Amino acid sequence: MAIFGANGAGKTTLLRSIAGLIGNEASQITYRGRSIGNARPDVVAQMGLAMVPEGRQLFPSLSVEENLMIGGRVNREGPWNLRKVYDLFPILEERKAQASTSLSGGQQQMVAIGRALMANPDLIMFDEISLGLAPVIIRDIYKALPGIVGGGMSAVIVEQDITKALAVSSRVYCLQEGRVSLEGRSDAVSREDIARAYFEVE
Amino acid sequence: MDFVNAVVQGTLLGGLYALFAAGLSLIFGVMRLVNIAHGDLIVLAAYLGLTTTVVLGVHPLVALIVVVPAMAGIGYVLQRGVLNHTLGDDILPPLLVTFGLSVIIQNALLEGYSADPQKMDAGVLETASVALGPLSLGLLPLLTFAIAVAVIAGLQWTFYRTPLGRAFRATSDNQDIAQLMGLNKRHVFGLAMALALAVTAVAGILLGIRTSFDPSVGGGRLIFGFEAVIIGGLGNLWGTLVGGVILGVAQTVGATINPGWQLLAGHIAFLVILAVRPNGLFPRISG
């Protein structure tokens, strides 16, 4: 599933609310029949929701491997472990002892993705997955996505690049000023629909 | 010879100051909390040690078995019950609340133990010494220094080699993201305070064996702790030990020149280092 929308539309706010970083009324967010709007972020994480935050936000005082290991703290059952993350992004194994801040932006994004995967979430949320990354890196990351989502994991992607968002998702939502201005199957929405939803030319 | 002796004695004294400082440094490092009540918590630990030795009739060092877990428990409850509620973007509330806590602890100790100076009896440990050439080193200062090194090595190991230390560092780096990793920051902070007060317990017992104490001496210990932390550089535990040693040496050397200069010399050393190296001698290199 992909979410897009102009700056300030509320995409990040939505993801942060789901993750529990922004408090809401309990009933405002429901996950698997449970009201989690007011749940603490660590409790939400235990329930199987993980987030790759905008701007990576790695822990600077932890090494690459420690960043990944702390992601595994949630300790849920599942296919992902340190070995699998290194298989997915081999460069990280070479750099595992380095400070996470010494990596390039793309490698940092790999760590951030690996860190979220280590929790073996049922749902992984990517906030601005390609923001600030070189096109070639973005391509690599998108290439890795099917391998990530393949194992029954659902993904929510917030993306500015609508073409990319449509290509990898099955459903899209467009947000505008905090409201859903368009929703539909990714292969069924037209460019005109999106433009209208994005800019509200009604 | 007097001078060499002063340096050696000051170095050993620095071990005690490093113990005062280590808990302070840890709390600030993990949750950016400046604990004004830290000195009074050291004194509280000394009184708990005193009560333990009197009631159970044990040696003060044996009392550590009771006082360390007791202080750790107090730390956890204090953090979760009170201090967590003061933490936020504003640094003023924790300062004010710990200042209030300092007043409360002092007065509670006054009420419970009176203002009379107390001292723990450690028997021969207090007077025993080993000769090292022309120098005579007290067994207690040596032991204190060895404990300080062991405690700091232990904290260092905990911070950089254990999952708990990883949780501390991650929470210190970015509280929001640390919570996304399933860490409950309130619990992490509680554990950090528990660990800090466990160290404080050791410091308090050693203080109570070394000198007499009364409920009002906490403020002075707080200053020594602060000075050691800042001389060494915030967030650097080994730096804190060096800071304690510099402070201790400055004090004993000052006292050798003129007994009245002991405290003043320590403060001057602190001010000089603050003027020359405002970030301390070994600031943590941050990314």
What is the per-residue pLDDT for B286?
A: 44
Query: With 60 as the cut, is the pLDDT of residue B207 above it?
Result: yes
Structural tokens at position B179: 């919570």
Task: Give the pLDDT mean for A127-151.
Answer: 86
What is the per-residue pLDDT for A193?
A: 84
Task: Give the pLDDT mean for B37-46.
Answer: 98
Q: What percent of chain B has a predicted confidence (pLDDT) above 70?
A: 98
Reported as a pLDDT band with limits 50, 70 and 90, residue A187 is confident
Buried b / exposed e along B160-191 (16+ C-beta atoms within 10 A): beeeebbbbbbbbbbbbbbbbbbbbbbbbbbb
Are the CB atoms for B17 and B228 separated by under 8 Å?
Answer: yes
Reported as a pLDDT band with limits 50, 70 and 90, residue B282 is confident
Q: Which residues of chain A lie closer than 8 angstroms to B181, CB-CB?
A: 42, 45, 70-71, 73-74, 115, 119
| A200 vs B286 pLDDT, higher one | A200
Q: Which residues of chain B lie closer than 8 angstroms to A51, CB-CB?
A: 180
- Chain B residues 117-176 with a CB less than 8 Å from chain A: 163, 166-167, 169-170, 172-174, 176
Reported as a pLDDT band with limits 50, 70 and 90, residue A5 is confident
Bridge partners (DSSP) listed for residue A157:
A2, A126
Choice among A146-160, B193-207, B250-264 with the minimum mean pLDDT: A146-160
CATH classification code of B2-276: 1.10.3470
Structural tokens at position A19: 């993750």
Task: Give the number of A-B residue pairs with CB atoms closer than 8 Å.
Answer: 71
Give the residue on A whose Cα is nearest the Cα of B171: A59
Q: Other C-beta atoms within 10 Å of A198: how many?
A: 18
Query: Position of tokens 């290439």?
Result: A143
What is the per-residue pLDDT for B287?
A: 33
Where is mean pLDDT largest: A130-134, A173-177, B167-171? B167-171
Q: What percent of chain B has a predicted confidence (pLDDT) above 90?
A: 86
**Does any CB of chain B come closer than 8 Å to the CB of residue A60?**
yes
Q: Other C-beta atoms within 10 Å of A88: how many?
A: 16
Distance CA A122, CA A48 (A): 5
Query: Position of tokens 């992607």?
Result: A157
Query: Position of tokens 């790759």?
Result: A52
Structural tokens at position A184: 């539909």
Task: Give the pLDDT mean for A174-194.
Answer: 87
Q: Note down the domain range covering A54.
A: 2-199
* Number of domains present in the structure of chain A: 1
Are the CB atoms for A137 and A110 separated by under 8 Å?
Answer: no
Work out the mean pLDDT of chain B and round it to a whole number: 94
Nearest alpha-carbon partner for A104 in A51, A64, A144, A52: A64
Query: What CATH number is given to the structural domain containing A155?
Result: 3.40.50.300
ipTM: 0.89
Reported as a pLDDT band with limits 50, 70 and 90, residue A47 is very high
Task: Give the pLDDT mean for A181-200.
Answer: 84
Structural tokens at position B210: 């070394």
pLDDT tens-digit readout, A99-121? 998 999 999 999 999 999 999 99
| A82 vs A131 pLDDT, higher one | A82
Buried b / exposed e along B248-264 (16+ C-beta atoms within 10 A): bbbbbbbbbeeeebbee
What is the per-residue pLDDT for A201?
A: 54
Distance CA A157, CA B236 (A): 40
Say how far residue B43 (Cα) sits from the centre of its chain: 11
- What's the burial of B124, exposed, middle or buried (CB within 10 Å: 0-12/13-18/19+)? exposed
Tell me which residue in B169, B174, B182 faces A74 most closely, judged by beta carbons.
B182
Query: With 80 as the cut, is the pLDDT of residue B136 above it?
Result: yes
Distance CA B168, CA B185 (A): 9
Q: Which residues of chain B lie closer than 8 angstroms to A68, CB-CB?
A: none
Bridge partners (DSSP) listed for residue B228:
none
Distance CA A152, CA A168 (A): 15
Distance CA B213, CA B193 (A): 24
Query: With 70 as the cut, is the pLDDT of residue A202 above it?
Result: no
Query: With 80 as the cut, is the pLDDT of residue B1 above it?
Result: no
Task: Give the pLDDT mean for B189-211.
Answer: 97
Query: With 90 as the cut, is the pLDDT of residue B179 above it?
Result: yes
Are the CB atoms for A12 and A52 separated by under 8 Å?
Answer: no
Helix (H) or strand (E) holding B153: helix B139-161
Kindly report the nearest CA distance between residue A34 and chain B, in angstroms: 18
**Does any CB of chain B come closer than 8 Å to the CB of residue A61?**
yes
Query: With 90 as the cut, is the pLDDT of residue A162 above it?
Result: no
**Does any CB of chain A come closer than 8 Å to the CB of residue B276?**
no
Work out the mean pLDDT of chain A and round it to a whole number: 89
Task: Give the pLDDT mean for A49-77.
Answer: 93
Task: Give the pLDDT mean for A3-29.
Answer: 90
Query: With 60 as the cut, is the pLDDT of residue B11 above it?
Result: yes
Q: Which residues of chain A lie closer than 8 angstroms to B169, CB-CB?
A: 59, 61-62
Give the residue on A whose Cα is nearest the Cα of B188: A42
